């Protein structure tokens, strides 16, 4: 189970500055907590656990559950064994492992999680070496997309063949620059972006032609910055396709969390490109993504383009949703020609498994209750 927001905390707080420079971070100590939620922080042990206890004075009524514990288990094999031993209530395997989990835990509930239509996994280009790099030319950026068979990667990662054999159709959606809102999303497979539709489609020969036409007949080298230990399977698959070419030579540089976020997520001040991300985290609308990575001055806006800024502002100002949708379609057609960011892997549905102990899950948390047969129900 994942940790969620637990309401507003009021009272005195002590903030201790950690680090220095332009990106300091702070350690916050809350004193005299006053919770507005049905749970109160009981204990926090970094890298170990986060524990909560019920707030008997909650305005909606005294919660049915007395304690909640969220153990932090970073090693996948350990998390899996703890789930099978029924020491934790939920587990989220990769799609490659989901059917094995279904076999190993037949009494657990298998849940198909919905796809986040706003998430558009992408790679960002850095500013440090952009002015002298081959990828300053949009043809090279498009070639980076066309050299990789993202359909094949999606089939492998989603375990499509095995799920089909089990009678389960995998839910997935094609990834471009835009959120997959049916009101405005354009499908390149149907030619809905005009001639630029082909820029999203796998074609190694055409990718090589684009690189050569951009003045790089011998190909080019590019640094790919990735978060150490994250998305390793996806990065390996993407680079596997680049290695099959004789014109895109990728040097993967694994960065630790602080350096990665400071230099690739919070600013584009790095060399080369980033590996694939999960998309614009926290996005609830296309406007968030546009402001984050396309509008000049955005934290991941490598390029400055007045025409792109016009699209961003125009869709924001449009009162009529139909007019806004048409603006976003025009923006997609333009984005498909400049490729300021590189759309990467497609988006598939994910799976999670739950032991059937928690009841009333469609109701607010304070009305949820635990099954009497739950192992170690009282600790």
More confident residue, 299 or 223: 223
Question: Is residue 86 a contact partner of residue 241, using CB atoms and an 8 Å limit?
Answer: no
CA distance linking residue 60 with residue 58, whole number of Å: 6
Query: 30 pLDDT exceeds 70?
Result: no
Tokens 């637990």 belong to which residue? 6
Query: 12 pLDDT exceeds 50?
Result: no
The encoded tokens of residue 310 equal: 């016009």
Q: List, as one string, the DSSP characters of 164-195.
A: HHTT-PPPEE---SS---TTT---GGGTTTGG
Question: Is residue 213 a contact partner of residue 118, using CB atoms and an 8 Å limit?
Answer: no
Query: 67 pLDDT exceeds 50?
Result: yes
Share of the chain above pLDDT 70, in %: 89
Confidence band (pLDDT; 50, 70, 90) for 62? very high
Straight-line distance from the first to the last Cα atom of the chain, in angstroms, rounded to the nearest whole number? 17
Residues 6+ apart with CB under 8 A from 140: 134, 210, 211, 214, 216, 220
The encoded tokens of residue 75 equal: 């090693």
Range of weakest confidence among 92-106, 108-122, 146-160, 212-226:
108-122
What is the predicted pLDDT for the residue at 231? Answer: 81
Q: 3-state DSSP call for residue 143?
A: helix
Confidence band (pLDDT; 50, 70, 90) for 289? confident
The encoded tokens of residue 375 equal: 């192992």
What does the pLDDT average to over 72-99? 90
Question: Is residue 82 a contact partner of residue 376, using CB atoms and an 8 Å limit?
Answer: no
Question: Is residue 146 a contact partner of residue 199, using CB atoms and an 8 Å limit?
Answer: yes
CA distance linking residue 46 with residue 131, whole number of Å: 42
Which helix (H) or strand (E) segment holds residue 326: the answer is helix 321-338
Cβ neighbours around 128 below 10 Å, total: 14
What is the predicted pLDDT for the residue at 261? Answer: 85
Please name every residue paired with 112 in a beta bridge, in sequence order, or none if there are none.
351
Query: 377 pLDDT exceeds 90?
Result: no
Q: 3-state DSSP call for residue 214?
A: coil
What does the pLDDT average to over 168-196? 94
CA distance linking residue 348 with residue 183, whole number of Å: 20
What is the predicted pLDDT for the residue at 165? Answer: 93
| pLDDT tens-place string over residues 140-159 | 999 999 999 999 999 999 99
> Within 247-320, where are the H helices?
257-260, 286-293, 306-317
The encoded tokens of residue 2 equal: 């994942």
Q: List, as one string, the DSSP characters of 355-378.
A: -TTEE-TTS-GGG-EE-TT-TTTT
Share of the chain above pLDDT 90, in %: 65
CA distance linking residue 212 with residue 225, whole number of Å: 25
CATH fourth-level superfamily of 122-348: Dipeptide-binding Protein; Domain 3 (3.10.105.10)
CA distance linking residue 137 with residue 139, whole number of Å: 5
What is the predicted pLDDT for the residue at 228? Answer: 84
Q: 3-state DSSP call for residue 267?
A: coil
What does the pLDDT average to over 66-70? 92
What does the pLDDT average to over 259-268? 85
| pLDDT tens-place string over residues 155-167 | 999 999 999 999 9
What is the predicted pLDDT for the residue at 278? Answer: 61
| pLDDT tens-place string over residues 346-372 | 998 889 999 999 999 889 999 999 999
| pLDDT tens-place string over residues 217-256 | 999 999 999 988 778 889 999 999 999 999 999 999 998 8
What is the predicted pLDDT for the residue at 338? Answer: 98
Query: 282 pLDDT exceeds 90?
Result: no
Return the domain boundaries, the chain. Answer: 1-72, 75-113+351-379, 122-348
Query: 26 pLDDT exceeds 50?
Result: no
């Amino acid at each position: 189970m994942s940790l969620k927001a637990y309401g507003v905390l009021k009272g005195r707080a002590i903030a201790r500055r950690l680090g220095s420079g332009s990106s300091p971070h702070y350690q916050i100590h809350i004193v005299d907590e006053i919770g507005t939620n049905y749970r109160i922080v009981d204990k926090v042990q970094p890298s170990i656990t986060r524990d909560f206890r019920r707030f008997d004075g909650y305005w909606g009524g005294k919660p049915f559950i007395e304690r909640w514990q969220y153990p932090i288990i970073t090693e996948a094999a350990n998390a899996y064994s703890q789930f099978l031993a029924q020491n934790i209530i939920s587990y989220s395997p990769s799609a490659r492992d989901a059917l094995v989990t279904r076999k190993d835990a037949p009494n657990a509930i298998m849940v198909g999680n919905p796809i986040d239509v706003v998430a558009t996994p992408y790679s960002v280009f850095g500013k440090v070496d952009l002015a002298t790099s081959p990828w300053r030319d949009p043809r090279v950026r498009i070639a980076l997309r066309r050299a990789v068979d993202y359909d094949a990667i999606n089939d492998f990662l989603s375990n499509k063949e095995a799920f089909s054999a089990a009678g389960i159709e995998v839910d997935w959606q094609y990834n471009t620059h835009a959120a997959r809102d049916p009101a405005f999303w354009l499908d390149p497979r149907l030619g809905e972006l005009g001639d630029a539709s082909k820029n999203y489609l796998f074609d190694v020969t055409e990718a090589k032609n684009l690189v050569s036409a951009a003045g790089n007949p011998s190909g080019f080298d590019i640094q790919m910055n990735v978060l150490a230990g994250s998305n390793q399977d996806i990065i390996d698959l993407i680079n596997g396709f680049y290695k099959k070419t004789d014109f895109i030579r990728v040097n993967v540089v694994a960065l630790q969390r602080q350096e990665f976020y400071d230099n690739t997520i919070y600013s584009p001040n790095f060399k080369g490109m980033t590996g694939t991300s999960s998309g614009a985290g926290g996005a609830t609308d296309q406007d968030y993504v546009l402001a984050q990575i396309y509008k000049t001055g955005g934290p991941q806006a490598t390029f400055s383009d007045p025409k792109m800024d016009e699209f961003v502002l125009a869709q924001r100002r449009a009162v009529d949703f139909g007019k806004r949708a048409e603006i976003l379609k025009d923006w997609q057609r333009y984005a498909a020609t400049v490729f300021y960011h590189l759309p990467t892997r497609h988006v598939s549905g994910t799976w999670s498994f739950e032991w059937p102990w928690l009841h009333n899950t469609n109701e607010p948390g304070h009305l949820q209750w635990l099954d009497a047969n739950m192992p170690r129900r009282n600790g």
